[in-house]
Each structure stands twice: as C-alpha cells, then as structure tokens.
Amino acid sequence: MNRRSDVHAIKVVETQRADCATQTDKRKSKKKIQHDRDWIRIFNEKRFLLQNFLFRGLKTLNSMRILLRINWVRQSRK
C-alpha cells in the first residue's frame, strides 16, 4: 500500500513539473506570437507609408508633366 501511494505521489510530482513546463512554453510561445504580431504591424505600417509616398510622388510627377506640357503647348502656339 505504501508503495502504491509512493508511485502515485511520483506521478503527481511529474505531472506538476510537466504542467509547469507547459506553462513556461505557453508563455514563451505567447511572447513569440506577440513579437511576430508587432513585427508584422510595423512592416505593414512601413509598407503603407512607402506606398503613400510613392503614390503621392507619382501624382506630383504627373501633375508636373501636365503643367510642362501645357506650357509647351502655349509657347508653341505663340
């Protein structure tokens, strides 16, 4: 009977250790997931800003081309 309770006690301790290990692993994985989410968010923000910058630059470039063409047409008509 004592032997049986000792075996049970050992199993309980091993289970508790395993639970602690899984909790630690869960915490680590949550930190990794949060780190990945932060990295993805920053990456998307940079991509969004770059897209807006390029789009605005293209719009400005196109408007400058249009103005130059209008001036060229006006000068050629004189």
* pLDDT exceeds cutoff 60 at 1: no
Weakest-pLDDT range from 6-10, 18-22, 51-55, 57-61:
6-10
Q: Which of 42, 46, 44 is nearest to 54 (CA)?
A: 46
Give the model's confidence band at 30: pLDDT under 50 very low, under 70 low, under 90 confident, else very high: confident
More confident residue, 62 or 36: 36
- Report the C-alpha gap between 78 and 73 in whole angstroms: 9
Structure confidence at residue 5 (pLDDT): 57
